[in-house]
Amino acid sequence: MTGQSILNYLSKKYNEIYLIEDWEENPSLDEIDRFGIKVHVNPQINTELLSRVSDVYSSPGIPIHHKALSLASKHKIKISSDIEEFLKKNKSIKVLITGTNGKTSTCHILETLLTSVLSDLKIVSIGNIGKPVLNYIDDDIDISIIEVSSFQLELLNEVKFDIGLLLNIEEDHLDRHADIEDYRNVKNSVLKNADINISYNDKNLFSKRFINYKTIILPDELAESSIFNSWLSHDIENLKASVAVLELLIERFIKSSFKNINLSAELEKAFNQFKKFPHRFELLEMVGGVNFINDSKATNLDATLKAISAANELEQVEDIFLICGGDLKGQEITSKQLQEIKSLKKVFIFGKDKKLIFNTLRPYVHCLIVHDLKEAVREAVKFSKDDDCVLFSPACSSLDMFKDYKDRGETFKRIIKDLKDE
């Protein structure tokens, strides 16, 4: 999606484009002619090619050590990205949100909150959320909420924007980044280039206006609210981060103190019809007396540990059976605090790194290696009884066996539906 949006944008600025596409079967290549300019697909990457190039734009899926990017850097050709182009060209207030976990959920929560409280403004949620920013670059927008991954931040040059929100940093994508320190530095760059910093700890790394969103105090009555009493602890954390952003924007657009708004009433109004995105601790229909939870978006161990904690918060749930597995992406899972695993009844493991996960978890809980997701579900159901919970929270990337986490989650839901129909 990002690649297509970049090509569409550049086709309006340039007469000739050289397109490097490592996936030569990409069906989007069949649509190249519709851009109406000369597009050279997969020319030889060498000095002669770079001598004809003025700018290089990279999609975030491309590692920075790719031959084309390395050669461009060597020849001092500017490497840019869609996010950077949007930050420079669009006139909106820009809020960049990143973190290992919770980015998309926080964007969704923040968009819902701002749209309700600042109802006269045009507010969009774009970026890594699944809406390429260049599709909105010429729009008249008041506030842009932009989800950015570590890959997108890595491509970002020194360009300023309004608010940087860093939700958390846990081990992830260590197959792409050199080590956890490199990953942490990339994530922290969302604060370095922002005028105002919002973060999850008390460290004001760049001596700017700073808010620790965890210190935000929500109204006591929310705990009794029919809307919020079912929200899990990590959802409440994302809500606090969103309220921190709201506080800054109230000052900017309403020229009033945040203390003058009735926060409880505003939150009740904003989230009256709120629905979470799927595949994020998604409670499915009970089948045969057993609860099923689809948490396919959990692509790292920290997200899965939070899901286990959240499952333990649920009322009327007895034993919890975890299904996990896939590609660990270089996570050092043996260094994690895994006491939460002890609360599980059994763990069913499949996928590329199943043996490593099995050896790591079995000192804490009974584990079983299975062939695939379907076998994992059937084995979990075999052991479970009424009011037990089967939690699908993989702790891994999906790409070893599925198209993406959505495909993985939909597969899980189809398996559950088939169980119901039997």
Tokens of 280: 């994020």
Count of H helices and E strands in the chain?
A: 13, 16
For every one of its 422 residues, what pLDDT tens digit does the chain have, with 9 covering 90 and above?
Answer: 888 899 999 999 998 999 999 888 888 888 888 888 899 999 999 999 999 999 999 988 888 889 999 999 999 999 999 999 999 999 999 999 999 999 999 999 999 999 999 999 999 999 999 899 999 999 999 999 999 999 899 989 889 999 999 999 886 666 666 688 888 999 999 999 999 999 999 999 999 999 999 999 999 999 889 999 889 899 999 999 999 999 999 988 887 788 889 999 999 999 999 999 999 999 998 999 999 999 999 999 999 999 999 999 898 899 999 999 999 988 888 767 898 999 999 999 999 999 999 999 999 999 999 999 999 999 999 999 999 999 999 999 999 999 999 999 999 999 999 998 88
pLDDT recorded at residue 174: 62
pLDDT recorded at residue 65: 87
Displacement of CA 260 from its chain's centroid (Å): 33
Inter-residue contact 49 to 65 (CB < 8 Å): no
Tell me the pTM.
0.89
pLDDT recorded at residue 131: 96
The length of the chain, given as a count of residues: 422
- Name the residue with tokens 């040059």: 157
- Indicate the fold that domain 2-80 takes in CATH: Rossmann fold (3.40.50)
Q: Is 14 helix (H, G, I), strand (E, B) or coil?
A: coil
Q: Which amino acid is at 341?
A: I
Strands (E), 200-345: 209-212, 282-283, 291-294, 320-325
- How far apart CA 214 and CA 207 sit, in angstroms, is 19
Q: What is the dihedral of CA 29, 35, 38, 42, to 10 degrees?
A: -20
Long-range CB contacts (within 8 A, 24+) of 210-219: 211/244, 211/247, 211/248, 213/165, 213/237, 213/240, 213/241, 213/243, 213/244, 214/240, 216/240, 216/241, 216/243, 216/244, 216/247, 218/243, 218/263, 218/267, 219/263, 219/264, 219/267
Q: Which amino acid is at 418?
A: D
Give span(s): CATH 3.40.1190.10, the chain. Answer: 83-270
Q: Is 212 helix (H, G, I), strand (E, B) or coil?
A: strand
pLDDT recorded at residue 383: 97
Give span(s): CATH 3.90.190.20, the chain. Answer: 282-421
pLDDT recorded at residue 335: 66
Give span(s): CATH 3.40.50.720, the chain. Answer: 2-80
Q: Which CATH architecture has domain 282-421?
A: Alpha-Beta Complex (3.90)
112-149 in b/e form (b: 16+ CB < 10 A) is: bbbbbbbeeeebbbbbbbebbbbbbbeeebbbbbbbbb
Superfamily of domain 83-270: Mur-like, catalytic domain (3.40.1190.10)
Displacement of CA 204 from its chain's centroid (Å): 24
- How far apart CA 252 and CA 199 sit, in angstroms, is 20
H helix or E strand, kind and range, residue 313:
helix 301-313
